[in-house]
Amino acid sequence: QVQLVESGGGLVQPGGSLRLSCAASGSIFSGCAKNWYRQAPGKQRELVARIHSGVGTNYADSVKGRFTISTDNAKNTLYLQMNSLKPEDTAVYYCNCRIGVVDYWGQGTQVTVSA
């Protein structure tokens, strides 16, 4: 079992930065594929970034060059550094840990980009 708790969301002006954190409990966290998803109002949840040991990182085209996913396995924590934020980045951001066909989700953290 893995429990995930996101933090770091908030209100930021366009062009600003935020760093999201996802604290995980459970020994299997280091072995799972770790993802950040987001869901904007009226839209489907979409994959933002992924990191998996031995595979590397992947990003949605819309965030490439602006967002960076990283992990600290010693701290059981996943991060998403978000720079040059745009209003279209406004969404609830979810941390995800995937092992095989099993998904674990956090409760989400709201990110609002507005002047």
Name which of 31, 28, 21, 27 is nearest 94 in CA terms. 21
Name which of 57, 51, 31 is nearest 95 in CA terms. 51
Mean pLDDT of the chain: 94
d(CA 95, CA 99): 14
pLDDT category at 26 given cuts 50, 70, 90 is confident
d(CA 90, CA 102): 27
d(CA 68, CA 83): 9
CB atoms within 10 A of CB 35: 23
Q: Which amino acid is at 105?
A: W
The pLDDT of residue 54 is 79
Contact 101, 1 (CB under 8 A): no
pLDDT in tens, 52-87: 887 899 999 999 999 999 999 889 999 999 999 999
